[in-house]
Amino acid sequence: MAYLVPKFDDAERVYHKIQDLHENGTYYSVADAKYMDENGWDVRYAVRCNGDLTSVGEYMLNPNDCPDHKEVRYFHSYDPLHRQKLCIERTEHLQPGIYRLTCAARANGTGAFIYAKIGWQKPILQEIPANGNVGGDIWEEANEFIQNHKDKKINADSTTYANRLCKLWSVNNNQGYGWNRIIIEPITITEPTTLSYGLTSDNDMTHHTWLGQWFSATDFEITLVEEVKMPVGEEQHQDSSEVHRSRMVTVRKGETLASIAKRNHITVGELCRLNHLNPNSSLHSGQRLRVR
């Protein structure tokens, strides 16, 4: 099933005046579409999601402790009859290496998963813990730290690590909002290819029945853990020493191929060659690119 999304003015990122989009009784809002467009996400399908794919208000940090002191939007799917069939995905073009996928997620029932999929291979699945919207291992780590340092002063003058844990602990009247750290590793890529990752409650993919009413996910990040030398072959135009010296950068919001090339002192043509792109390729925030 195809879902329409708003068209955007690529030059100024100005959204056209479009009302909530409906199709076959299912829709998602302009706020949802804006969030996904700005962060490079695609809705593969969203059935019985009651018009909401994202939310705010129960992030792991209080708004004043977040970047720009604003509410953080995150993926959130809710259906009181646990009927939703959802799959939201982001795809990156990656060079050979060993990678790690991390994110934060929570659910009030079993059967929701975070996944990573290399090319057309079967997805690697990690189930989201079903502890509801209190606690969560991210909060529990902060709580353990606080309890072990009751007699010590922890405030804005403390170390960055201690200060962040203090902020995580204070959320929701010192109860947390149920967020858990999800890690999928190792993700081993042996040749240039795509890595798709995201969240899903689709039992055709997970082989588990979704038994909750809602689940949430945020803060997805792909990290290169170790570079892998690319085998030399007839179709391989880079020698292994070049791959070994490769360096990756993360695309920032609003950046283009030209701005990234200039920042890293290479040409746009060279940047495209290194990442198997063309000069008209679109980029999204968080995408990883090779610059050497």
- Could you tell me the CATH number of the domain that includes residue 94? 2.60.120
- The answer as to whether 37 is a domain residue is yes
- The verdict on 34 and 150 lying in the same domain is no
- The verdict on 54 and 122 lying in the same domain is yes
- The verdict on 123 and 193 lying in the same domain is yes
What is the reported pLDDT for 152? 62
Residues 6+ apart with CB under 8 A from 239: 232
Structural domain for 142, as ranges: 134-176
Give the Cβ contact number of residue 81 at 10 Å.
8
pLDDT in tens, 36-75: 888 888 888 888 887 779 999 999 988 887 766 678 899 9
Contact yes or no for 193/230 (Cβ under 8 A): no
- The verdict on 101 and 62 lying in the same domain is yes
Residues 6+ apart with CB under 8 A from 127: 110, 111, 112, 113, 206, 208
- The answer as to whether 181 is a domain residue is no
Q: Crossing angle of helices 160-174/137-148, nearest 10°?
A: 110
Q: Tell me the pLDDT of the chain averaged across its residues.
A: 79
What is the reported pLDDT for 256? 86
Share of the chain above pLDDT 90, in %: 38
- The verdict on 121 and 265 lying in the same domain is no
- The answer as to whether 5 is a domain residue is no
- The verdict on 171 and 198 lying in the same domain is no
- The verdict on 220 and 284 lying in the same domain is no
List the structure tokens of 48: 């019985």
Counting the structural domains of the chain, the total is: 3
- The answer as to whether 32 is a domain residue is yes
What is the reported pLDDT for 208? 94
- The verdict on 151 and 288 lying in the same domain is no
Question: Which residue type occupies 121?
Answer: Q
- The verdict on 107 and 224 lying in the same domain is yes
- The verdict on 47 and 100 lying in the same domain is yes
- The verdict on 58 and 151 lying in the same domain is no
Phi and psi angles of residue 53, each rounded to the nearest 5 degrees, phi first: -115, -15
What is the reported pLDDT for 210? 95
- The answer as to whether 183 is a domain residue is no
Domain CATH code at residue 265? 3.10.350.10
3-state secondary structure the chain: CCCCCCCEECCCCEECCCCCEEECCEEECHHHHHHHHHHCCEEEEEECCCCCCEECCCCCCCHHHCHHHCCCCEEEEECCCCCCEEEEEEEEEECCEEEEEEEEEEECCCCCEEEEEECCCCCEEEECCCCCCCCCHHHHHHHHHHHHCCCCCCCCCCCHHHHHHHHHHHHHHHCCCCCEEEEEEEEEECCCEEEEEEEECCHHHHCCCCCCCEEEEEEEEEEEEEECCCCCCCCCCCCHHHHHCCCEEECCCCCCHHHHHHHCCCCHHHHHHHHCCCCCCCCCCCCEEECC
- The verdict on 115 and 57 lying in the same domain is yes
Sorting pLDDT into bands at 50, 70 and 90, what band is 101? Answer: very high
261: left (phi over 0), alpha (psi -120 to 50) or beta: alpha
- The answer as to whether 1 is a domain residue is no
- The answer as to whether 251 is a domain residue is yes
Please give the Cα distance from 254 to 49 (Å, whole number).
Answer: 30
Average pLDDT over residues 187-196: 92
